[in-house]
């Protein structure tokens, strides 16, 4: 059976990567979390203290940066200049700055190029904000996944607790809403549902139910 490309987009903490990982594993496909790449370059920008508002400085930084994603047992490992930054890119410090870096045209050009190379000629489940609209416009299955902002904040709060990140729920909700706004309003490849994407509201779905919905849609396209 010829493998397909599956694009999953949506706002922060909707469940994209959790579900994408399950779907990829079930189908034997590669899982690619594109948000991790934007987080990695943001971590470097913060470490090198570049001006986060400058497209040119971000572009220059990228020229001397190597970002590599490798499949692992529980998803994906992220390497920044050969160093494993899988955990470091999840800090609140990075989370708060990432939408500003991700808005730069020079950053997006390079990331999209890398993402398309990673997806070429194989079965992939890729999650992000612009996968269905820009990165894999001919993906056989596009899903736009969302949930209420209250539910998304609650999920991230629970997830953070397991990582010893203790940001209050209200602060998380405000951060998520701000990031969604910045991601949706940026000029280059804003967060948007592709016209041919299927909308999936996971507010009242369990993880298994959400993954089941996408697997069903994938199977229809594989027949
Ligand atoms: N349908 C769901 N019901 C309950 N919790 C979920 C659901 N989907 C995801 N989660 C949990 O919500 C958190 C955020 O999910 P994640 O996959 O990281 O979202 P995203 O990739 O969209 O940012 C994770 O802790 C995950 O386990
Ligand atoms: N394809 C993508 C993926 C992420 N991003 C940016 O990267 C940020 C982090 O993405 P993420 O998927 O790791 O975020 P979470 O929803 O997991 O918190 C987003 O808020 C966007 O600013 C993007 O612009 N385009």
> pLDDT tens-digit profile of 16-40?
999 999 999 999 999 999 999 999 9
Question: Which pLDDT belongs to residue 73?
Answer: 86
Query: Has residue 1 got a pLDDT over 90?
Result: no
Distance 19 CA to ligand 1 centre (A): 8
Q: What is the mean pLDDT of residues 173-181?
A: 97
Confidence band, pLDDT 50/70/90 cuts, at residue 165: confident
Which pLDDT belongs to residue 164? 84
Nearest CA to ligand 2 atom 21: 99
CA distance readout (Å), 154 to 15, 27, 62, 141, 203: 12, 29, 34, 28, 11
Residue 200 has pLDDT above 90, yes or no: yes
Query: Global pTM?
Result: 0.97
- Ligand with the closest atom to the CA of 210: 1
Number of domains in the chain: 1
Its sign, for the CA torsion 72, 6, 136, 96, is negative
Residue 70 binned pLDDT confidence (cut-offs 50, 70, 90): very high
Summarised one tens digit per residue, pLDDT across range 107-154 is 999 999 999 999 999 999 999 999 999 999 999 999 999 999 999 999
> Looking at the chain, which runs of residues are DSSP E strands?
5-9, 30-33, 67-72, 75-80, 83-84, 124-128, 141-146, 198-201
CA distances, 17 to each of 132, 187, 205, 216 (Å)? 15, 25, 15, 18
Kindly report the CATH number assigned to the domain that includes residue 160: 3.40.50.300
The answer, yes or no, to whether any atom of ligand 1 lies below 6 A from the CB of 142, is no
Whether the pLDDT of residue 179 is over 90: the answer is yes
For the stretch 42-55, pLDDT in tens is 999 999 999 999 99
Counted residue by residue, the chain has a size of: 223
- CB-CB contact of 101 with 42 (8 Å): yes
State the residue range of the domain holding 178.
5-222
CA distance 191 to 102: 11
The confidence band for 166, taking pLDDT boundaries of 50, 70 and 90, is: confident
How many angstroms does the Cα of residue 159 sit away from the middle of ligand 1? 8
Atom of ligand 1 nearest to the CA of 11: 22
- State the Cα–Cα distance between residues 7 and 124, nearest whole angstrom: 8
Q: From the CA of 12, give the closest atom in ligand 1.
A: 23
Average pLDDT score, the chain: 96
Q: How far apart are the first and last CA of the chain?
A: 8
CA distance 136 to 109: 14
Distance 3 CA to ligand 2 centre (A): 25
């Amino acid at each position: 059976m010829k493998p397909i490309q599956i694009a999953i987009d949506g706002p922060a903490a909707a469940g994209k990567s959790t579900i994408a990982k399950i779907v990829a594993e079930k189908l034997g496909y590669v899982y690619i979390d594109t948000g991790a790449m934007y987080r990695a370059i943001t971590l470097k920008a913060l470490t090198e203290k570049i001006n986060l508002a400058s497209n040119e400085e971000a572009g220059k930084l990228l020229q001397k940066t190597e970002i590599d994603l490798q499949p692992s047992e529980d998803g994906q490992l992220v390497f920044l200049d050969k160093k494993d930054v899988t955990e470091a890119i999840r800090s609140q410090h990075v989370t708060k700055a990432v939408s500003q870096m991700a808005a730069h045209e020079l950053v997006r050009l390079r990331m999209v190029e890398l993402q398309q190379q990673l997806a070429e000629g194989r079965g992939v489940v890729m999650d992000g904000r612009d996968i269905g609209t820009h990165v894999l416009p001919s993906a056989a299955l596009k899903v736009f996944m969302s949930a209420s902002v209250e539910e998304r904040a609650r999920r991230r709060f629970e997830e953070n607790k397991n990582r010893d990140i203790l940001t209050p729920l209200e602060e998380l909700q405000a951060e998520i809403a701000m990031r969604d706004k910045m991601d949706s309003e940026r000029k280059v490849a804003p967060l948007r549902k592709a016209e041919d994407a299927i909308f999936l509201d996971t507010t009242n779905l369990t993880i298994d139910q959400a993954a089941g919905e996408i697997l069903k849609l994938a199977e229809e396209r594989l027949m």
